[in-house]
Chain A
Amino acid sequence: MQNINTVLVIYDALINSKIDRENFFMTLCRINDACSKTYCSVNIELLVPESVIGALTEEYGELSADTICLFRTKLENQTLLDYGANIFSYCLENRPQYVFFPSSIIGRNLSAWLGAKMEAGVVADVIDLEYLNEDESFKYIRATAESELLARIKCNKKPEIVSIRGKRNQESNKRKPVFKNIDFGTNESGDKIQIMERRAYSIQNFSDNIVIGVGRGVSAFDFEIIKTFADMNKIPIMGSKPAIESKLLGRDKQIGQSGNFIHTDIYIAIGISGAPQHVVGILDCKKIIAINTDRNAPIHNYSDISILLSAHDVFSSLISV
């Protein structure tokens, strides 16, 4: 029998790291936010490794969910295929109507793999979701590739498997979770996949209060001036797709639909036109400052402060102050 009201949210990394815990928490915030807006009555169930839950609750307090399923299987022994197969067998047994992953590389790939196994509808990289009580279903919003519009998508088959971009906000914490222990016993990989080595990155601890973004309008020369300013103030520099393509920055620094979503207090967009694929990645920033000489650039429609001056003038003056 199908449990029609369950949203299953799945932890999406095979390592216990702060950045993945944060991503998972922000995804949960987005889901809770969507549910609380319409007072919908879905049960939120989390599938989390036992080794991760301690750090998660220490960092974010009690998680707003109805059930937290803890699995004891050691993460370091799981391949992605094992992890996917264990989630698949859990879903077959418990029949959640919605299966949500954080939108990370692993989350998106696992959601796709699971969608094929379950012959389910899959939506990737959702930037927001809304629950419609009259339909008793979610609708998902994501950016489209070549248009200035966002697409509102629905699935015509259950379960619905979705990867969701997180949102940084204070969780309402209305739900009080019940804990449940489960075992992950599937060894799908067998001798087909073997882990030889797994290495955690040491993540740079940048201030997440402020980020500078550079775009097509920034020359290599001006980039050096901006970088001097950013280094002086310990501000990370990221960029839009044209800045990545012109090799000013590595691809891991890309902001937007194909890259990172940022949730900072301040975002300074320099020489960025404001294409929708970039803008979806900055919508959760509290304050957006656009520096662009083109007063018709779309970025000014999303900014709180628009500076109609060249990056060169502004930043060469700033570093000489």
Chain B
Amino acid sequence: MKSLKVLILCRPPLRDAIESYIPALWIKEMRHQISISAYCMSMDRESSKPLIERYFDYGVEEIYLISDKQFAGADTFATSYTLYQAICNMELDFDLILADAVSTYGETGHIPAQIAAFLNIPFAINVAGIVLAENNIICKQIFRSYEENISLSYPCLLSLNSNVDTEFINRNCLTLFDIMAKHHKEIKIMNSEQLKISEKQCGMCCSHTIVVNAIKMNGKNKHKLIEESRDAISELNKLIKGVG
């Protein structure tokens, strides 16, 4: 394999912090091993352009922003299905798809696994290590009680663990050279018509879950207030000894 074609499925970054660009850091890491052409896809409002644009600094060749008011109200199923249709209808032919294990709404990790299911390709989750080989990719998956190394054949999808160490960040973060070499490319905004996605195949029409209402968390009505250091120490000592 001379070059690897990689698609980053990026969640809309909440802020311009390095942790929001984990897949881009992995692209830089993998470039130490093999030649890579990277593309990026995100589904969000057009207003998220300035944050997604940062992926160009990491050497991504094209960024596709999937954005249309028809996509509004999509749950995770509808979001994954829309992204899947975008990948298929744009005939994007990739060896590897990288996604973040953490979604904007917490560590749900739904989108990558669903896209792998729709595309019917092998996948690895919570990946903390990647070694690229000619015909396969070796990944370290980490879970709560165990870790495993698995080998996957291409094409495949990896969802990346976001707990990267400082050494990894330092090795792969943007350099002045990267920023200066930035090509002033434009993000390509794709709407439902361009992607040939009908109203029934996206947004609320395609969602299988509904938010019925919002409720407030119940607090505790009574609590003991301590403002003296002596009382605090006595109370804490008593409690700790009590359960010890």
A139 lies within 8 A of B109 (CB) = no
Measured CB to CB, the closest approach of chain B to A167, in angstroms, equals 15
B80 lies within 8 A of A289 (CB) = no
**Cα–Cα, bound, A207→B242 (Å):** 13
A309 contact set on B, CB distance < 8 A: 226-227, 229, 232
B214 contact set on A, CB distance < 8 A: 144, 147, 149-152
B118 lies within 8 A of A116 (CB) = yes
Beyond A15-B146, A122-B77, A201-B147, whether A109 also contacts B223 by CB under 8 A is no
Does A77 make an interface contact (CB < 8 A)? no
B223 contact set on A, CB distance < 8 A: 300, 303-306
B239 contact set on A, CB distance < 8 A: 210, 266, 287, 289
B76 lies within 8 A of A122 (CB) = yes
Does A117 make an interface contact (CB < 8 A)? yes
B148 lies within 8 A of A104 (CB) = no
Closest to B19 in A: A245
Q: Mark A186-219, 1 if CB is under 8 A from B, else 0.
A: 0001011111111111010001011000000000
**Cα–Cα, bound, A245→B125 (Å):** 22
A197 lies within 8 A of B145 (CB) = no
A112 lies within 8 A of B216 (CB) = no
B212 contact from A139, A266, A279, A300, Cβ within 8 A: A139
B229 lies within 8 A of A257 (CB) = no
**Cα–Cα, bound, A307→B156 (Å):** 52
B145 lies within 8 A of A302 (CB) = no
B144 contact from A105, A111, A304, Cβ within 8 A: A105
Measured CB to CB, the closest approach of chain A to B63, in angstroms, equals 24
Does A143 make an interface contact (CB < 8 A)? yes
A20 lies within 8 A of B145 (CB) = yes
Stretch from B85-93, B99-107, B175-183 forming part of the interface with A: B99-107
A150 lies within 8 A of B215 (CB) = yes
Number of interface residues of B (CB under 8 A): 75
B209 lies within 8 A of A112 (CB) = no
**Cα–Cα, bound, A153→B214 (Å):** 9
Closest to B111 in A: A112
Does A59 make an interface contact (CB < 8 A)? no
Does B174 make an interface contact (CB < 8 A)? no
Stretch from A92-100, A174-182, A312-320 forming part of the interface with B: A312-320
Closest to A277 in B: B106
**Cα–Cα, bound, A115→B240 (Å):** 45
Measured CB to CB, the closest approach of chain B to A179, in angstroms, equals 25
B226 contact set on A, CB distance < 8 A: 305-309
Does A156 make an interface contact (CB < 8 A)? yes
Beyond A145-B105, A192-B122, whether A313 also contacts B229 by CB under 8 A is yes
A112 lies within 8 A of B76 (CB) = yes
**Cα–Cα, bound, A195→B211 (Å):** 39
Measured CB to CB, the closest approach of chain B to A208, in angstroms, equals 10
Does A29 make an interface contact (CB < 8 A)? no
Does B152 make an interface contact (CB < 8 A)? yes
Q: Mark B226-241, 1 if CB is under 8 A from A, else 0.
A: 1101001101110110
Does A251 make an interface contact (CB < 8 A)? yes
Beyond A104-B143, A193-B152, A276-B217, whether A268 also contacts B212 by CB under 8 A is no
Q: What are 9 A-B contacts with C-beta separation under 8 Å? A: A23-B144, A109-B112, A115-B76, A124-B76, A149-B216, A151-B215, A152-B214, A289-B235, A304-B220
Apart from the given pairs A114-B117, A155-B208, 13 other A-B contacts in the complex at a CB distance below 8 Å: A81-B123, A113-B114, A113-B117, A115-B208, A125-B108, A144-B105, A154-B210, A192-B152, A193-B124, A257-B106, A279-B217, A301-B220, A321-B237
Binding site for B on A (CB under 8 A): 13-15, 17, 19-20, 23, 79-81, 104-106, 108-117, 119-125, 139, 141, 143-145, 147-157, 189, 191-201, 203, 207, 209-210, 233, 235, 245, 247, 250-252, 257-259, 265-266, 268, 276-277, 279-280, 283, 287-289, 291, 300-309, 313-314, 317-318, 321
Nearest 9 Cβ contacts at the A-B interface: A121-B208, A301-B219, A116-B117, A124-B108, A112-B110, A251-B163, A112-B113, A17-B145, A149-B214
Binding site for A on B (CB under 8 A): 19, 75-77, 80-81, 101-102, 104-118, 121-126, 138, 141, 143-153, 156, 159, 162-163, 166, 207-217, 219-220, 223-227, 229, 232-233, 235-237, 239-240, 243-244
